[in-house]
Amino acid sequence: MYRLNRILRPGDVVVVKSAHEILETLDSEGTLDRLPFMPEMADYCGRRFRVSKKVLKTCYYGPSTGMRTFPADDVVILEGVRCSGAAHDGCQKACNIFWREAWLRRVDAPKGLRVVPAESGQQQLRSRLKTKTGPNTYFCQASEILNATSDLSRGERLWKCVDEVRWGNCGAVEMVRRIGVWLFWRVRRSFLGHYGRGTNKSTPTESLALRPGEWVEVKPMKSITKTLNERSHNRGLSFTPAMGRLCGEQYRVDRKLEKIIVDGTGVMRTMRDTVFLEGSLCGCSCVAFGGCPRGEYAYWREIWLRRLQAQEDPPATWLRTGS
């Protein structure tokens, strides 16, 4: 299988290789070491980006959750590059795309980070890329995340945190803070159970018919608890401690969420009365030891939000779009 030295670090400028070069790295399934190169990625061939993170470990969410690693440690995330879902029937998961270093070339100077992509070989590349394995089962990086990664032992998780600092994903102080956050919530859960847990057996729903651009306020925790079961879920979707810190804050709706591909299964799941809020990410330090570079959007049930009327819009001097 195609290999190269693992040299990329956060801040490096890279160019996505040409379609012909990427084709040389792929197997018959359109993958490299079981990680798919997706049709949505072909649009970036020839373009320049900065490396955002080196992916030393990653969360996954689906029927179960956990932390895993790419065995070769040759995967990075590029700044601002998320999957559009265009080749997967409009999946709205908007994953940060994983890039094997074999698909990238390091360059010495930015020279205006983006250039016009070369079209040569695009059609041949796309024809090799699989998008489905069944009528409602999809083939993408989310569906294959368990196949492309391996489990981490407790000791390995600790060493991966050290590697996060060594490779420049974060500073030592930030890593200590992340571990402290995880430890606090782990101990709290052991004694008090899930954060925000409710008493519902069947959790309620509410539709606000929110549209992109509208402003909302996150309801108080007391109100949200009334919508949750004992595992802090509302219709299978968890309300996390990181989301709890945003109670009372005002955000703008980014988009309505109607369908996503589930990690590890490839099944397209439909969603109702759920939105993304601008700048609101999962904040997985609460549940993932040392955090995760994947940067998933937080999913918000509309029943956890209150629409702001025009007269309630916050002054322009402090409008927030999240942090």
62 with 264: CB under 8 angstroms? yes
Share of the chain above pLDDT 70, in %: 89
My answer on whether 95 and 223 are in the same domain is no
User: Is position 183 within any domain?
Assistant: no
User: Is position 29 within any domain?
Assistant: yes
CA 267 – CA 270 distance, rounded (Å): 10
Question: Residue 67's pLDDT band (boundaries 50, 70, 90)?
Answer: confident
How many Cα neighbours within 13 Å face the side chain of 16?
29
User: Is position 205 within any domain?
Assistant: no
Residue 317 confidence (pLDDT) above 50: no
Q: What is the pLDDT of residue 193?
A: 83
Question: Residue 309's pLDDT band (boundaries 50, 70, 90)?
Answer: confident
User: Is position 178 within any domain?
Assistant: no
Question: Last residue of some domain: 132, 151, 170?
Answer: 151
Question: Residue 60's pLDDT band (boundaries 50, 70, 90)?
Answer: confident
What is the DSSP secondary structure assignment for residue 183, as one 8-state letter? Answer: H
My answer on whether 224 and 125 are in the same domain is no
Share of the chain above pLDDT 90, in %: 73
Looking at per-residue pLDDT, the higher value among 182 and 2 belongs to 182
My answer on whether 17 and 137 are in the same domain is yes
Q: What is the pLDDT of residue 194?
A: 86
Question: Last residue of some domain: 134, 151, 168?
Answer: 151
User: Is position 199 within any domain?
Assistant: no
My answer on whether 94 and 221 are in the same domain is no
Q: Which of 322, 210, 223 is nearest to 271 (CA)?
A: 210
My answer on whether 28 and 110 are in the same domain is yes
Residue 3 confidence (pLDDT) above 60: no
User: Is position 179 within any domain?
Assistant: no
Question: If you search the block for the tokens 């509309």, which residue do you land on?
Answer: 302
User: Is position 47 within any domain?
Assistant: yes
CA 164 – CA 170 distance, rounded (Å): 6
195 with 221: CB under 8 angstroms? no
My answer on whether 35 and 144 are in the same domain is yes
Residue 146 confidence (pLDDT) above 80: yes
Q: What is the pLDDT of residue 2?
A: 46
User: Is position 120 within any domain?
Assistant: yes
97 with 78: CB under 8 angstroms? yes
One-letter-per-residue 3-state SS of 190-240? HHHCCCCCCCCCCCCCCCCCCCCCCEEEECCHHHHHCCCCCCCEECCEECC
Number of domains, the chain: 2
Residue pLDDT, tens place only, 256-292 = 999 999 999 999 999 999 999 999 988 778 878 888 8
My answer on whether 18 and 117 are in the same domain is yes
What is the rounded average pLDDT of the residues 53-78?
Answer: 88
What is the rounded average pLDDT of the residues 121-144?
Answer: 93
My answer on whether 133 and 253 are in the same domain is no
Stated pTM of the model: 0.88
| Domain hosting residue 68, numbered range | 13-151
CA 244 – CA 188 distance, rounded (Å): 15
Q: What is the pLDDT of residue 64?
A: 67
My answer on whether 22 and 128 are in the same domain is yes
CA 254 – CA 176 distance, rounded (Å): 32
